[in-house]
């Protein structure tokens, strides 16, 4: 992906110039702060390098439009970026965009044309203290264990491809995840002597999506045949307990407004609803 003439792509380590215009995202989208901090992968396009007024960021958790929406030069460059690079070279099947202002939302359909943005209502939760004794609720036949190097390298435990993809997508590679991130997994089969010495398979996993300062965000995934058994709750609760016991002061959680299962899981663990907000899904035209 290369920047059109009207845009400048800032390089990692040089994102601080754009930090002030991301202020409206502060407290809402930690992944944007992680990219600015160099804690997570992402790309940042601005109208000018030294004192940008408008910016577009890609991150593992979506894309962001921030700053001045009346910046005609930036809008023109962004249209070209979407047309020729993001959609034109088939790098993206869809753009998942959160806008920092109502005006950017009004302009979104124009700047991603001919794609049509689809509104996705979202919820943002934060947990500062765990509310669940997850150890007492682990079902028989399962074990909740750290998603660490030994587990990832184990030949006795089946690690789903989704786990490996998630680590690579959000952290760049496994080593960076092991150094900077964390995760927990529920293993079916209660492997004798620990998750790396018996036989089993990971059926639910909760990983850190990103980190910035003393905050982090987590996600959860459970294989479909193992849902509705409380596994997501105990797995994510273990991840939250670890995070809050390891120096993080708060843990974030995002879900779609209509994902009531995810919302209930968060609330059982001790997450409190901070706000509802809007994101937009822009499918690549066929």
Taking each helix axis from N to C end, the angle separating 102-111 and 72-80, rounded to the nearest 10 degrees, works out to 40
Taking the chain, what is the end-to-end CA distance rounded to the nearest angstrom?
20
Alpha-carbon span 103 to 204, nearest angstrom: 40
Contact predicate 37/212, CB 8 Å: yes
Q: Do domains 8-115 and 126-277 have the same CATH topology?
A: yes
Cα angle 73, 78, 84 (rounded to 5 degrees) comes to 125
pLDDT tens for 189-223 read 754 444 443 468 999 999 999 999 999 999 999 99
- Domain segments of the chain: what residues? 8-115, 126-277
pLDDT of residue 199: 60
What is the band of 108 on the pLDDT scale with cuts at 50, 70, 90? very high
Contact predicate 127/265, CB 8 Å: no
CATH code of domain 126-277: 3.40.630.30
Burial 176-206 (b: 16+ CB within 10 A, else e): bbbebbbbbbbbbbebeebbbebebbbbbbb
What does pLDDT average to over the chain?
91
DSSP state of 49: S
Q: Residue 90 pLDDT more than 80? A: no
Q: How far is CA 85 from CA 9, 170, 284, in A?
A: 13, 22, 11
pLDDT tens for 229-250 read 999 999 999 999 999 999 999 9
pLDDT tens for 3-62 read 667 899 999 889 999 999 999 998 899 999 999 999 999 999 999 999 999 999 999 999
pTM: 0.91
CATH code of domain 8-115: 3.40.630
Q: Residue 83 pLDDT more than 70? A: yes
């Amino acid at each position: 992906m290369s920047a059109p003439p009207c845009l400048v792509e800032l390089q990692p380590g040089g994102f601080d110039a754009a930090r002030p215009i991301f202020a409206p995202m502060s407290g809402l989208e930690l992944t944007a702060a992680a990219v600015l901090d160099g804690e997570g992968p992402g790309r940042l396009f601005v109208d000018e390098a030294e004192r940008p007024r408008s910016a577009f960021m890609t991150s593992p958790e979506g894309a962001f439009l921030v700053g001045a929406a009346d910046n005609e030069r930036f809008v023109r460059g962004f249209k070209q970026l979407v047309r020729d690079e993001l959609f034109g070279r088939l790098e993206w099947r869809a753009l998942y965009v959160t806008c920092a202002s109502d005006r950017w939302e009004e302009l979104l359909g124009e700047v991603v044309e001919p794609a049509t943005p689809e509104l996705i209502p979202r919820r943002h939760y934060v947990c500062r203290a765990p509310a669940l004794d997850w150890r007492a609720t682990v079902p028989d036949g399962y074990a909740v264990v750290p998603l660490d190097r030994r587990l990832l390298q184990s030949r006795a435990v089946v690690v789903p491809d989704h786990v490996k993809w998630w680590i690579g997508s959000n952290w760049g590679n496994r080593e960076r995840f092991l150094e900077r991130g964390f995760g927990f997994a529920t293993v079916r089969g209660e492997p004798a002597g620990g998750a790396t010495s018996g036989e089993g398979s990971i059926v639910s996993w909760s990983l850190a999506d990103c980190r910035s300062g003393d905050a982090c965000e987590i996600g959860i995934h459970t294989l479909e045949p193992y849902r509705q058994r409380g596994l997501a709750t105990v797995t994510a609760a273990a991840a939250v307990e670890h995070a809050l016991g390891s120096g993080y002061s708060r843990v974030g959680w995002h879900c779609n407004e209509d994902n009531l299962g995810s919302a209930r899981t968060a609330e059982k663990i001790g997450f409190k609803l901070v706000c509802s907000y809007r994101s937009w899904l822009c499918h690549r035209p066929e």
